[in-house]
Amino acid sequence: MSAFETIESPTVPSSTRTEAATSPADARHTPRLVGNASVGIEVRNVVKHFDNFAALDGVSLSVAPGELVALLGPSGSGKTTLLRVIAGLEFPDSGDVLFGGRDALSMTARERRVGFVFQQYALFRHMTVAQNVAFGLDVRPRGARPARAEITERVRLLLERVHLQGLEKRYPQQLSGGQRQRVALARALAIDPSVLLLDEPFGALDAKVRKELRRWLRNLHDELGLATLFVTHDQEEALELADRVVVLNKGLIEQDGSPQKVYDSPATAFVAQFIGDTLTLPVQVTDGQAEVLGARFPAAPGTPEGRAVAYIRPHDVSVQPQGTANGVTAEVISITLSGAVLTLRLGIRGLGELDAIVSRQDVQRFDHEKGSIVTVAATQAYIFSD
Amino acid sequence: MIGLSSLPSGRAAAPAPSRRRRQRRALPGFGLTLGLSATYLGVIVLLPIAALLLHAASLSPAEFWAIVSSRRAVATYRITLSSAFYATLFNAGFGLLLAWVLVRYDFTGRRLLDAMIDLPFALPTAVAGIALTALFARNGIFGQWLEPMGIKIAYAQPGIVIAMAFTSLPFVVRTIQPVLEDLEVEIEEAGHMLGATDGQLFARVIWPVLMPSFLAGASLAFARSLGEFGAVVFIAGNLPMRTEITALLTYIRIDEYDYPAAAALATVILLSAFVMLFAVNALQLWQLRYMRRS
Amino acid sequence: MAAIDLTAPRRRVFAGPVAHALLIGLAVTLSVLVIGLPVVAVFGMALSSGASVYMAAILQPATLYAIWLTVLTALIVVPINIGFGIAAAWAITRFTFPGKKLMTTLIEIPFSISPIVAGTAYLFLYGAQGLFGPWLAASGIQIMFTVFAIFLVSLFVTSPFVARELITVMQSQGVEDEEAGVSLGASGYMLFWKVTLPNIKWALLYGAVLCNARVMGEFGAVSVVSGSIRGETNTLPLQIELLFQDQNTAGAFAAASTLTVIALITLFIKLWAERRRDSHERL
């Protein structure tokens, strides 16, 4: 596990990530695990109702070969349903799913050759690790089934690749959560999948293992070059890991874009609220702009004049000595120290209270005791209709 | 390796009719398993019942009424119902005791006792019938003591009660057991600290939780007793008006080739079974809701 | 000052030594009298005239034939009801369809119907006065009062056993293992043998054993449709009745002892299957 050193990860992914591929030793040992030319996934206007509840209400998205896309949303947003529709475990009421341009809906789940990793892994409890991984090969019709020795060799390679060599004879119940997750992945890869789908791949793991596996999964994805789609409710995970983030809410796509874009310019009020901590302030829109804590910001296109809501991230609130900058006057109500940053709870007359996150250096220069008066301003705000 | 090229092609991007898709299911075998099991149910279970009801329906209402309200038939209802009632009463008490002892106390032989409770379900009713008859007949182990005291069990109504009680014994135990196991210790500990006695705690805290499952188990036992035949015919003596149950009268009518009477009586038993089934389902629903609430 | 005894049982209702001993004593005594004694009585009566009489009673041709017919019935009925149970449980627990609730209720119907009613119902289907009677008579097919009627009515009476066990266990296990199986490319046949069956084998065994016990012990329904023709349509329970009415007590109890042994084996397998299932779940 030493290969998965944890580095304090920035919330916004760096663009140089793909360089962190495998070590030379790994590359020497790893023949191509996936033989297929990878294909892209395309979902067009998919609608799926359960009784009267619209789980998916016209969803379209695409995943290119070699792309890692996160499907991000709260529980009940329809993200798992969409993943299951793509895998062939649910069938949509209308719409299309294409794999490399071919109609996937006319194929059964069995024919689609989808690598699917279940949230609770769904490992077969009565089979050893090796039997689990070999399952997809063992159940092929006789003509297409590899020879016994070939299966054994392939299982060995896969287990080596997921760092589980030596655990072949164990049963799933004897493994840790992280190990089970990697068995599930190896099992999905054994069938030489054309696309890879993961349902909350880190959902059942504790925080530390989760971070290690995230990095490892990214590297594995880069080597395999598959179109990979994973479902998560954890925005940090989506922003850190994915090439592209698709935010889903109530069966509709709210935003589809790079992590940077989703974070920096949320397309809807839901995205602004769902990504990162946010404060909300009531504002008035005039001429397509609104004043938020002393500065004017453009409202989202199409926001009507009049009452609207501004969404501000706590670290987009600047705190200055009183009178030195534009902004509004506030009183410091309480101070919480958390590591390198301070959370100041501020009271603003007529607006109520809000939290600002500031670095300790930024406020060293002036008095910020409890009860002192400061000037606060927003450096970034997102304005959407009420 | 099979590549994507081996997948069914030719139906490329053109969407298939959505109607066909809606009916598709992820797992295989829907049509096969539903078709097989529905056909089997229809042929083996529903068709005979329909034939019985059809035969009964061919009687005129007056004929039907004359059969089911004859003195001999009414006597069988009275005997069947009252015997089932007493058997259920016994099993309610005994079942509660057994469930309590099995869940609350640890003692050598507990597992054996637990296993023994299912014996009445596993033992053929005819075997139970002759065994009970042997025990309670005049020269039997119990009979030789009871008969001189003037207590007649075999070939009298108490024999019917005992046969019914034996065959329906496991129901109350098995429905109370899981509920009793789920009771939290803390509730009783809290009760003790608040100064309640054991009796008060049982009556006010434990019993209200047990009651729905107790009633459900008792009604299952009652339903089973109403339908019991094998164990009863051996011990009952089968005297018309005195120890004849409805199922036996039906059997006798068949033996006499009096098919209209058999159809009418069987219909009465069938309908009472459906009423019981409905009552038991309602009780179990209530029990489920009760358990979820607590 | 006494230290707090952490190993002491926690204070529960009626946990005092007197109540404890009294309730256990009462429960055990009643159980022995009500459940234990009848079983002991069967063997006691069967062996009361000695082992040689017992063997002779079992080996008399009519009883031997009844044993054979009973085993044959079980060999035919149990596999068919295993097949029905698997099909019904698969359809009900793996799919949603209109009428699913109704079907689940219908499966349970034979449990709540008196065996006499079951036999009577079959009489009105295949008997001379029955629905198919004229047609069967015209075709020269006799079902009532033959072994076929015994098979059919046994199928009816024991159809819910396997289905009910499997529906319960497959419902609680959920559908994820099978979904993983299909996404890995397993066919329906492979899915059942390699994924589903290993998960349900203890419940299946338990259901099959209960079904078997009931098939072999069924009395009421079989007595209506069999015609009790000695050496032709007499199953063991019917043979027991016949011998008992003939005042052949030793013979009746000898025959009964064979069914009692089967009942005890059934209970033993049930215990064993439950333990295997529990340890399987703990793993």
CB-based contact B26 A91, cutoff 8 Å: yes
Is B84 within 8 Å of chain C by CB?
no
The percentage of residues in chain B with a pLDDT greater than 90, rounded to a whole number, is 62
What CATH fold (topology level) applies to the domain A2-264? Answer: Rossmann fold (3.40.50)
Angle between helical axes of C249-282 and C37-47 (0-180°, round to 10): 140
Q: Residue B69 corresponds to which tokens in the numbers above?
A: 């309200």
Q: List, in order, residues 6 or more apart from B67 with CB less than 8 Å away.
A: B59, B73, B260, B261, B264, B265
Contact indicator for C77, C85 with CB cutoff of 8 Å: no
CA distance A124 to chain B (A): 17
Nearest to A122 among C179, C190, C198 (CB): C179
> A-chain residues within 8 Å CB-CB of C278?
none
> A-chain residues within 8 Å CB-CB of C283?
125, 171, 173
CA distance A232 to A121: 15
CA distance A141 to chain B (A): 11
Amino acid B44: pLDDT: 97
CA dihedral A285, A290, A292, A295 (to 10 degrees): -160
Is C131 within 8 Å of chain B by CB?
yes
CA distance A137 to A144: 9
Q: In this structure, are C3 and C141 located in the same domain?
A: no
Residue of C nearest to B93 (CA): C27
Give buried/exposed letters for B191-229 (b at 16+ CB in 10 A, else e).
Answer: bbeeebebeebbeebbeebbebbbbbbbbbbbbbbbbbb
CA distance C190 to chain A (A): 6
The β-bridge partners of A174 are: none
pLDDT tens by residue, A203-242 = 878 888 888 888 889 999 999 899 999 999 999 899 999 9
- Return the SS3 of B294: coil
CB-based contact C176 A88, cutoff 8 Å: no
CB-based contact A105 B22, cutoff 8 Å: no
Interface test with B, best of A41, A97, A103 (most B CBs within 10 A): A103
Q: In this structure, are C78 and C39 located in the same domain?
A: no
Contact indicator for A270, A237 with CB cutoff of 8 Å: no
Is B3 within 8 Å of chain A by CB?
yes
Nearest to B166 among C10, C14, C34 (CB): C34
CB-based contact A139 C198, cutoff 8 Å: no
Is C120 within 8 Å of chain B by CB?
yes
CB-based contact C194 A187, cutoff 8 Å: no
Q: In this structure, are C21 and C123 located in the same domain?
A: no
Q: Residue B146 corresponds to which tokens in the numbers above?
A: 């009871």
> A-chain residues within 8 Å CB-CB of C181?
135, 139
Is C280 within 8 Å of chain B by CB?
no
In terms of residue numbers, what domain contains C16? 1-47
CB-based contact C217 B55, cutoff 8 Å: no
> One fold for both A2-264 and A277-385?
no
> C-chain residues within 8 Å CB-CB of B145?
none
Q: What's at B267, amino acid-wise?
A: T
The β-bridge partners of C151 are: none
Q: Kindly list the domain boundaries of chain B, sorted by start residue.
A: 49-293
Q: List, in order, residues 6 or more apart from C268 with CB less than 8 Å away.
A: none
Is B41 within 8 Å of chain C by CB?
yes
CATH no., domain A277-385: 2.40.50.100
Nearest to B229 among C36, C220, C236 (CB): C220
Query: Residue for token digits 């005291």?
Result: B149
CA distance C75 to chain B (A): 18
Interface test with B, best of A49, A91, A114, A151 (most B CBs within 10 A): A91
DSSP track, B227-279? H--HHHHHHH---TTTS--HHHHHHHHHHTT-HHHHHHHHHHHHHHHHHHHHH
Q: Residue B50 corresponds to which tokens in the numbers above?
A: 């329909």
Amino acid A195: pLDDT: 93
Amino acid C11: pLDDT: 66
Q: What distance lies between CA C138 and its chain's CA centroid?
A: 36
Q: How many structural domains are present in chain C? A: 2
Contact indicator for A128, A152 with CB cutoff of 8 Å: no
Q: Kindly list the domain boundaries of chain A, sorted by start residue.
A: 2-264, 277-385
Q: In this structure, are C32 and C146 located in the same domain?
A: no
CA distance A74 to A152: 41
Nearest to C114 among B133, B135, B227 (CB): B227
SS (H, E, C) chain A: CHHHCCCCCCCCCCCCHHHCCCCHHHHHHCCCCCCCCCCCEEEEEEEEEECCEEEEEEEEEEECCCCEEEEECCCCCCHHHHHHHHHCCCCCCEEEEEECCEECCCCCHHHHCEEEECCCCCCCCCCCHHHHHHHHHHCCCHHHCCCHHHHHHHHHHHHHHCCCCCCCCCCHHHCCHHHHHHHHHHHHHHCCCCEEEEECCCCCCCHHHHHHHHHHHHHHHHHHCCEEEEEECCHHHHHHHCCEEEEEECCEEEEEECHHHHHHCCCCHHHHHHCCCCEEEEEEEECCEEEECCEEEEECCCCCCEEEEEEECHHHEEEEECCCCCCEEEEEEEEEEECCEEEEEEEECCCEEEEEEEEHHHHHCCCCCCCCEEEEEECCCEEEEC
Nearest to B188 among C12, C112, C120 (CB): C12
Q: In this structure, are C84 and C12 located in the same domain?
A: no
Amino acid A17: pLDDT: 39
Q: Output B97 or C227, whichever has higher pLDDT.
A: B97
- Please give the C-alpha separations between residue A45 and each of A73, A95, A114, A231, in angstroms, as whole numbers: 18, 5, 21, 19
Residue of B nearest to C90 (CA): B33
pLDDT tens by residue, C110-166 = 998 999 999 999 999 999 889 999 999 999 999 999 999 999 999 999 999 999 999
Amino acid A24: pLDDT: 39
The CATH number of residue C257's host domain is 1.10.3720.10
Amino acid C18: pLDDT: 84
Query: Residue for token digits 């259920």?
Result: B88
Across chain B, what does the average pLDDT equal? 88
pLDDT average per 10 residues of sequence, chain B (294 residues): 37 43 75 97 97 95 96 96 97 96 91 92 94 91 88 92 96 92 84 84 88 91 93 91 94 93 96 90 80 64
CA distance A311 to A318: 15
Q: In this structure, are C136 and C257 located in the same domain?
A: yes
Q: In this structure, are C137 and C96 located in the same domain?
A: yes
CB-based contact A126 C184, cutoff 8 Å: no
B 77-106 → A contacts, CB under 8 A: none
Interface test with C, best of B45, B47, B138 (most C CBs within 10 A): B45
Q: In this structure, are C205 and C134 located in the same domain?
A: yes
Superfamily name and number for B49-293? MetI-like (1.10.3720.10)
- Return the SS3 of C213: helix
In this prediction, residues C23-36 reach a mean pLDDT of 93
Report, as ranges of residue numbers, the positions in chain A whose pLDDT lies below 50: 1-32
Residue C86 clears pLDDT 50, i.e. is over it: yes
pLDDT tens by residue, B255-279 = 999 999 999 999 999 999 999 988 8
CB-based contact B12 A102, cutoff 8 Å: yes
In this prediction, residues C4-12 reach a mean pLDDT of 54
CA distance A187 to chain C (A): 8
Confidence of residue C27 (pLDDT cuts 50, 70, 90): very high
